[in-house]
Amino acid sequence: MNLIDTHVHLDEISDIEGALERAQKVGVRAIVAVGVDLVSNEKILSLAGRYPGLVYPALGLHPWRLTSDDLEANFSLIKRELPRCLALGEIGLDFALETPQDHQREIFTRLLAIAVKARKPILLHARRSWTAVLDLIKFFQVEKAVFHWYSGPPKVLSTIFEMGYYISATPAAAYSARHRQAIQAAPLDRILLETDAPEVYQGSPSEPKDLLRTLHSVSQLRGLAAEKIADQTFSNAQKFFQRYLIV
Ligand SMILES: [Zn+2]
């Protein structure tokens, strides 16, 4: 089986070497390591250098990390290094946060402008901000974007698919009603698989090998064999990341 974990916080995993080995044993052929701030972006670039052909870097600035004082240094790093990365992410808006929405929007729009200029796909974090995120990526005419771990309203979801965008499934597909609803409603060619590792799901921490948990939940939800979901989502990921991801 060939699988791609399209969203991993690899720098936050304690036993990276072991986690990568275990993932490869279950068929994970590529891992998209996402950054959230300057320090994590730097770590991800070095991990991608250490594991070429397995770990692919995406640089980001997570809405949860806007209070750090190295924002401008991170912007410089992103502008400089993005051309050799797979995607821009994790970026987005999180209206469940106390961080003022105006500030979040200002940072997010600056990031969108960089991604569009570099013609890179975008990995989105949206919480209680689904419409705002969608409106902004439409405004910037973003070509490729994935709403990571989508758990928003079905109405926004239909526009996401009309615009040609994607959603990604996590191990929460086993129990989260909203997430399950989204996966059931998605066209099969618009779903990517991920773990968001080391995220903890119902008390159980994850690593990239747990992509199998995501796979089996999606397979069960869609009533299709795991192999079929694996093949489809593998080709979805290759299409989404275009020529940048060579597996
Ligand atoms: Zn994440």
State the pLDDT at residue 153.
95
Looking at the domain assignment, is residue 156 inside a domain?
yes
Rounded to the nearest whole angstrom, what is the distance from the C-alpha of residue 192 to the centroid of ligand 1?
A: 14
- Residue 20's alpha-carbon distances to 41, 138, 182, 197, in angstroms, are 19, 36, 29, 12
- How many Å lie between the centroid of ligand 1 and the Cα of residue 93? 13
Please report whether residue 16 resides in a domain. Answer: no
Q: How far is the CA of 8 from the centre of ligand 1 (A)?
A: 7
Q: Span 200-208, mean pLDDT? A: 96
- Residues, CB within 5 angstroms of ligand 1 (ion): 90, 196
pLDDT of residue 23: 98
In a domain, 161, yes or no: yes
Range of 72's domain? Answer: 3-11+25-244
Note whether residue 67 is domain-resident. yes
Residue 135 neighbours by CB distance under 10 Å: 12
Task: Tell me the two tokens of residue 128.
Answer: 């209680």
pLDDT of residue 243 exceeding 90: no
How many structural domains does the chain have? 1
What is the distance in A from the centroid of ligand 1 to the CA of 149?
9
- CATH at 196: 3.20.20.140
Let me know if residue 19 belongs to a domain: no
Q: Is residue 178 part of a domain?
A: yes
Residue 90 within a domain: yes
pLDDT in tens, 44-89: 999 999 999 999 999 999 999 998 789 999 999 999 999 999 999 9
For residue 167, the CA-to-ligand 1 centroid distance in Å is 13
Q: Model confidence over 163-184: pLDDT tens digits?
A: 999 999 999 999 999 999 999 9
Task: Output the six-digit token pair for 15.
Answer: 């036993």
In a domain, 214, yes or no: yes
What's the 225 CA to ligand 1 centre distance in angstroms? 27
Report the separation in Å between the CA atom of 123 and the middle of ligand 1, taken as the mean of its atom positions.
9
Q: What is the pLDDT of residue 246?
A: 59
Question: Which contacts of 162-165 are long-range, i.e. CB under 8 A and separated by 24 or more positions?
Answer: 163/134, 163/137, 163/138, 165/137, 165/190
